[in-house]
Structure formats: structure tokens, C-alpha cells
Amino acid sequence: MAQAKNTKKVVILGGGIGAMTAAFELTNSKALREQHEVTIYQLGWRLGGKGASGRNPVDGAELIQEHGLHILMGCYENSFRMLRQCYKELNRPRGTPLRTIRDALKPHSSVDAEQQFHGDWHRWNINFPEDKTWCGCVRLPGDRKELPGFLTYIKRVFQWMESGLLYADAELVKIVGLVSSNLHSQLKNIGSHLHPYLDGLHKSATQSGKDSLSHDTAKFTYIHQELVKLRKTCREHWEGSDGFDIELLRAFILLDLGMSSLIGVFKYDLFFNTFDTINDFDFRDWLLDCGAAQVTVDSPLVTVLYELVFAYENGKSVGEGVVPNLEAGTLMRALPHMMAGYTGAFMWKMQSSMGDTIFAPMYQVLKKRGVTFKFFHKVEDLHVKDGELNSIDISTQVELNGHEYDPLIDVKVDGFKHPQPAWPAEPIYSQIKEGDRLQKEGINLESFYSPWVDTGKKITLKVGEDFDHAILGIAIGAFPYLCKELIENDKDWKAMVDHVKTVQTQAAQFWLKPSFKDLGFAEDGAVVGNIAASPLDTEADMTFLLNNEGWSGNKVKALAYFTGPMEGPDQAPPASNQEYPSESMQKLEKTVTALLQEQVQILWPNFKPDSDVVARYLRVNVDPSERYVMSVAGSSKHRLKANDSKFKNLLLAGDWTECRINMGCVEAAAISGMQASQELCGHPKKILLYSNRIL
């Protein structure tokens, strides 16, 4: 079919969330589809990037094998809006698993953290309140027109300190012994000044704009000083208390963390400055600078935030020489949205794999819209000339038996009339000319370190012929190998690659014979952080996935996912180091042995390592494009924006761009993909972004 006169040829490199979101938005109406001819080039046989997954048939079940533990947060407004539209457009027939967005995602509002106290481990459970509709359904994210303002969050933090902890639970008050008439009067006094001051700032900003705001300096100083006094009073109660116990410690940590964060807002005048003001601090260092107690800074509440984003230099999270590193301003910008700005539930668990829940529906919708997918196409180099992307070198990994590759398989799920479309854990070899050889030799076509010599032809895409615009959606860890000319020709590219760090990760899945109750782990569906004895420091009960996998009888009663950073170099070794994946897997094997033989008893006191594991899946994410994008102190200022790549026909899409969140997550990548599309075609008209300042 001849190309329409005004149609733009857009090539998208990579198939992760950022890339797929860009394709989704560029084709989001009939008019947009007429304006854009979109082609996606993808390494290997599946989409997903760091969220790719596959099904592996074992003992009659279709085991889900993930890159790691993936859970969506309730503050992902942009991602949910897109996914809701995707499922609606897909319109799967009744009797199909994951037919609707509510079938695919279920609310989860409980988080645990393991805490060591007087030599023993204790579980600290935090339940987040759920917001429900009139009919009792938990509200779905994706409907907000605006995000809550930071003044709202500040008020909530103070009101929580004022009423939620100190007054709501009489038994807690009795246990912790933190309440005194002095503390009560201090809280009331600060509140009487703080709330009118914040209301005045908000009114002034609304009426006259941020640039014309002025401080009530005396009031500002007074509130700041009173907050410091309040924290001192709380610390005196804690340090001088009789019957010191873990409940008292937790109450103090909650108060100290809340007050120290609020004191930091005043100390660094974040009402008038941007959050970038404190981005040269690591978050823990910033808390200490704001006067937080060491016990608070080292607490599970802070540690789980680092674990959430693998925030450990060189992936080392246990033992000597651990260096936690997480940008203070980036976290302070995102944390209130995460903790208090979610819709419906704090978290949402996918009811199948990430690939089947997110990427299979997106693939099917985009395919219907006319997007072309080029699987088994390995991007090798990008070339620039005269300020634009001039050409792209691509190697075709294999020759196909047919015209194009059909990537999905059908998985039968008990109780459903229709099968579930899913990604296989390996290519569908029957569609590949040398499929038998690939299967026999166990070649991994997704691996940067694969010995495979590509059997397809080399392709060079040229600007003006094969593309008008390109969207780079491959992860930043691969840039030293793919983007040499961009780095050499632009200082901002070099600064970004030098300062935006990545880290290896590791994951383990265990299918278990006993139930978690029988293992001594009674809380259903728990997500647990701060398993400090192991590099696999986060665990989730994923037993609900067993029904989707098709296990028969009672052979398997529990399913656990573990994940964590993996110690290693701060940049992936070159492709010539073909033994690197196997060497990394040997290290993970040792980590798993220690976990199962010694450390997992923290969670499962009745676990028997020699008999309780029915099946397992281990994964090391060490390829350049698989490495997790970190948010180290001082790095955000070096990130490029999706719509400002420094090369006029190149756009960017991924969680490594400057997108206000600036942390490795689905929402960051989705926002970036939306920004790339918005630059090209003006759609979407509005993207909900975290504010860069409080006012």
C-alpha cells in the first residue's frame, strides 16, 4: 500500500513500557493512525523490556517466569488510564481470563517490613486505607484530572501526627506512653499556626502566582522552631521511657520520620525552591541533616524505600561496604503521591504475569491498529550527522519460515471457556528456519552475551527513506554500546550516560508444597521488605497465580517471589565476556542456597529446604538493557527529556528520561512515552506530572 502524502514514518526501538506507550498514543485515534506509520523493532521473540515474562510448561502447568517482582502502585494515574483504555478497546469475549481491567488487576493494601529488635526478627505490618465506590468496589486509578497538591499532603502528615497516632487508638497511647500535656499543647500550638500559614501560601499562589509570593518570615521561623521543639519532646519521651519495647520504638520512628521530613521542608524552604534543591543529597543523608534520629534513618520504613528502587551502589545491599544512594528531592517529590495520593488502593497486583497482563493486550491492540512489529531485530548502532539521527544499523537475528512472527500462545486456564493469550518463555521454534538448532543448543536470543551469529540480513534504516522520526525506547544501560556517536557528539548525552547509573538485579521464584500457613507465614498475600539477612531482600506471596498456571491437585499450595539488587560492576561488561551470565547465575545459586538453608526461616519458621520446594525459577538481570535504572544523588539534572534528545528527529522513551518521577517504574516509563508522542503529534493533550515544587 502506498504511503499517504502527509504520513510520518516513525520507528520505535525497543518494546518496553516507554516504547509501547509511545506507540499506543501515536495511534490513539483514526486520524492519528492516518498520520503515522509506526514500526517497532524488538530484540528476540517478545515485548516487555524489564517487564517481559514467559510461560514454561512444567508438569502439565504453564509456569509464569518473570524478570522479577512487579506490582503497580495506586498512584500510577497515567499508566492506569492507558491500560483501562487498552482493555476496553481489546474487548475480549466473556469467558476469557483477564477480560477486563478489574480481572487483570486486584487491589493490595498491606505491606510488611521485617525489623530486628533485641536480636529477634519482628514483622511490622502497615495497612493502607482503601477508597471504595458506593457499590463497594475499590476505586480504579486513571480518572483524576489533577494530582493532589503538596500542601494537602503536608496538612495530612501533620493531622496524622496530631490525631491519627496520638488520639485515635487509646490502647496504642497507653502502650507507647508518648502523650503528655506538654506534647498535646505543642501539637495544638503548631497546628494553629501551620494550617493558616499554608492556607495563606496556597491562596497567594493561586491569586498572584508563585513568582510574586512573599514570606511571612516571622511566622515561617516560628513554625520551624516549634517543630524542632516538638521533635525534641518526642525524643525525650522515647529516650526516657520505662518498659522500652518495639511498639514504642515504632511509634517514635513514625513521629520522627514525619517531623524530620516536615522540618526539612522548612529548613530548605521547599515552599519556594524546587525539589531539585536537595537532589545532591542521598535521602538518608538529608534526613540526618534535618536532624532525624539514626534509629529512624536505619529503620525498616526507610530501608524498604531503598529496596523498592534497588538503591544500592554496585548492587551490594548486605555486609560491609554497603552504600545506599537515593536522590532526596526525587523521593520527596514522589513519596507523598505514593503514600497518600493513591487512588483506591496502595498497590495493585497483576493477576497473571506482567507480559500477559500488560504487554499481550497492548500488542493485540496495537496490531489491530496497524502497527508493524519486527521481532528478532537487534539494534546495533545509531549514527548521527548534522544534528539529526541519520541512520540505524539493525541485525536480523534469524530467518522466519513465514512472512512475520506470530509471538503469542494460548494458555488454557481452568474455569474459562476461552484461552488466555500469553508469551512463551522461549521462541516458537516452528516459525524459525533454524529453530531446531536454536532449541538444541539452548541459544538465548535476548542475551547480549549470546554466541549466536545472526542468520538474517543486516539492515540500515535511513532518515528520509525508512523513517522520519525515531523513538529510542531501549534502556540506558545499553547506550555505551549502541549510542557511541550520540555520546561523542553531544556533551549532554555523555553527562547522562556518565551520571545516570544502573544496577544488576536478581530474582527467584519458588513453587512450594506446603501452604504458607503450614510454613508459619499466616498473612495471606503479604508483600515483605527488609529481609536484611539476604540480598534477595523483598518477598511477595503470589499464591493466587497458581490458578492461572494450571496446577492439578494439591501438588503446589504456595508460590513466593523474591527479588533484590545483585552485586557487580556499575556498567555491564562487553559482549565478548560470554561467560558473564553463567558466572552471575552461579553467584545467585549460592545466594539462594543461603536463603533457603538459613535466612528464609525469618519468614517461614517451619520451612524444610530439602522437601518443600516443588519447582523454582532463578534469573539474573545482567544484560545492559536489563539493568535497573537508579536514582542516585545528583543524577536527575543530567537526564534528558523525552522531547529534548539534542537531535532533531530523535525522541526518547523510558524511565531513564527526565519525567519528574525519575525512578525506575512503570509510571515513569509511561509518562516518557506519552511525552514523546505529545511532541510528535500533540497527543495526549494532558499528562499528569508530579509538581517540581510544593506551591
pLDDT score of 414 more than 70: yes
- Do 183 and 252 share a structural domain? yes
Report the candidate in 59, 254, 36, 48 with the shortest Cα–Cα distance to residue 166.
Answer: 254
- Grid cell, residue 612, equals 518443600
Classify strands 120-127 and 110-117 as parallel, antiparallel or unpaired: antiparallel
E strand or H helix at 301: helix 300-308
Greater confidence (243 vs 396) lies with 396
400 confidence band (pLDDT: 50, 70, 90): very high
Contact 383, 391 (CB under 8 A): yes
CA angle, residues 301, 617, 354, in degrees to nearest 5: 65
Grid cell 522461549 is found at: 426
pLDDT in tens, 134-155: 888 999 999 999 998 888 888 7
Residue whose entry in the numeric block shows the C-alpha cell 538465548: 444
Domain boundary among 307, 340, 373: 340
Question: Residue 365 — very low, low, confident or very high, per pLDDT cuts 50/70/90?
Answer: very high
Q: How would you label 184-202 residue by residue, b for 16+ Cβ within 10 Å and e otherwise?
A: eebbeebbeebeebbeebb
| Residue 99: inside a domain | no
Using one digit for the tens of pLDDT, what is the confidence trace for 248-274? 788 788 888 988 999 999 999 998 899
Predicted confidence (pLDDT) at residue 311 exceeds the cutoff of 80: yes
Domain identity same for 24 and 160: no
**Distance from chain centroid for Cα 654:** 12
Question: Is 178 a residue whose pLDDT tops 60?
Answer: no
Q: Is the pLDDT of residue 170 over 50?
A: no
Answering whether pTM is above 0.85, one says yes
| Torsion angle defined by CA atoms of residues 592, 597, 599 and 600, in that order, rounded to the nearest 10 degrees | 80
Mean pLDDT value across residues 148-177: 58
For residues 362 and 86, the answer to whether their CB atoms sit within 8 Å is yes
Residue 5 has pLDDT above 70, yes or no: no
Q: Is the sign of the CA dihedral 266, 269, 272, 276 positive or negative?
A: negative
Confirm whether 65 is domain-assigned. no
Same domain (yes/no): 382, 464: yes
pLDDT for the residue 165: 45
For residue 442, the model assigns a pLDDT of: 96
SS3 624: helix
SS3 403: coil
142 falls within a domain: no
Same domain, 203 and 273: yes
Compute the average pLDDT of residues 307-318. Answer: 96
**3 state SS for 575-591:** CCCCCHHHHHHHHHHHH
Q: Rounded mean pLDDT of the chain?
A: 91
Residues 463 and 389: beta-carbon distance below 8 Å: yes
How confident is the model over 384-399, as pLDDT tens digits? Answer: 999 999 999 999 999 9
Q: Do residues 355 and 407 make contact, with C-beta atoms less than 8 angstroms apart? A: no
Does one domain contain both 482 and 417?
yes
Q: Quick check: 370 pLDDT over 60? A: yes
> Inter-axis angle of helices 150-159 and 181-208, to 10 degrees?
170
What is the Cα–Cα distance from 298 to 98, expressed in whole angstroms?
41
Q: Are residues 159 and 205 in the same domain?
A: yes
Tell me whether residue 196 is in a domain.
Answer: yes
Q: Is the pLDDT of residue 2 over 80?
A: no
Range of the domain at 407: 8-55+351-500+631-681
Q: What is the pLDDT of residue 176?
A: 42
Residue 4: its pLDDT value, please?
Answer: 55
Please, what sign has the CA dihedral across residues 480, 483, 488, 493? negative
pLDDT of residue 253: 87
Q: How would residue 211 be classed by pLDDT, with cut points 50, 70 and 90?
A: low
pLDDT above 90 coverage of the chain, percent: 75
Q: Tell me the C-alpha to C-alpha distance, in Å, between residue 89 and each of 29, 99, 100.
A: 11, 11, 10
45 occurs within a structural domain: yes
Q: Are 132 and 551 in contact (CB under 8 A)?
A: no
CB-count exposure of residue 218 (10 Å: 0-12, 13-18, 19+): exposed
pLDDT band at 117; cut points 50, 70, 90: confident
- The confidence band for 182, taking pLDDT boundaries of 50, 70 and 90, is low
pLDDT band at residue 554 under the 50/70/90 scheme: confident
Mean pLDDT of 568-579: 97
pLDDT at 81: 98
- pLDDT-derived band at 247 (thresholds 50, 70, 90) equals confident
Q: For residue 405, give every residue at least 6 positions away whose Cβ sits within 8 Å of its Cβ, in sequence order, or none.
A: 45, 373, 375, 376, 428, 431
> What's the confidence (pLDDT) of residue 192?
80
Residue 359 lies in a domain: yes
CATH number at residue 423: 3.50.50.60
- Give pLDDT, residue 278: 98
In tens, the pLDDT along 24-53 reads 999 999 999 999 999 999 999 999 999 999
Q: Using one digit for the tens of pLDDT, what is the confidence trace for 581-610?
A: 999 999 999 999 999 999 999 999 999 999
* Integer Cα distance of 277 and 347 in angstroms: 30
Helices of type H across 457-550: 479-482, 484-489, 491-499, 546-549
The rounded distance, in Å, linking the Cα atoms of 176 and 169 is 11
3-state secondary structure (DSSP) of residue 563: strand
Q: What does the alpha-carbon distance between residue 640 and residue 679 come to, in Å, rounded to a whole number?
A: 14
Q: Are residues 271 and 394 in the same domain?
A: no
Question: What confidence score (pLDDT) does residue 155 get?
Answer: 76
Q: Are 336 and 361 in the same domain?
A: no
Tell whether 213 is covered by a domain: yes
Is the same domain home to 167 and 295?
A: yes
What tens digit of pLDDT does each residue of 87-115 get? 999 999 999 999 999 999 999 998 999 99
128 in a domain, yes or no?
no
Angle between helices 246-267 and 217-239 (to 10 degrees): 160
The total number of structural domains in the chain stands at 2
204 pLDDT above the threshold of 60: yes
Residues 367 and 482 placed together within one structural domain of the fold: yes
DSSP 8-state class, residue 170: H
- Residue 416: other Cβ atoms inside 10 A: 16
**pLDDT confidence of residue 175:** 39
Residues constituting the chain: 695
pLDDT score recorded for residue 518: 95
Residue 572: its pLDDT value, please?
Answer: 97
Q: Determine the average pLDDT of the residues in 220-236.
A: 87
Residues 372 and 462 in one domain: yes
Q: Please report which confidence band the pLDDT of residue 242 belongs to, taking 50, 70 and 90 as the band edges.
A: low
Say if residue 362 is in the same domain as residue 299.
Answer: no
Picking from 311, 340, 369, the residue at the C-terminal end of a domain is: 340
pLDDT of the residue at 166 = 44
- Comparing 246-260, 285-299, 604-618, the range with the smallest average pLDDT is 246-260
- 546/64 Cα distance (integer angstroms): 9
Q: Please give the Cα distance from 648 to 58 (Å, whole number).
A: 49
Q: How far apart are the first and last CA of the chain?
A: 52
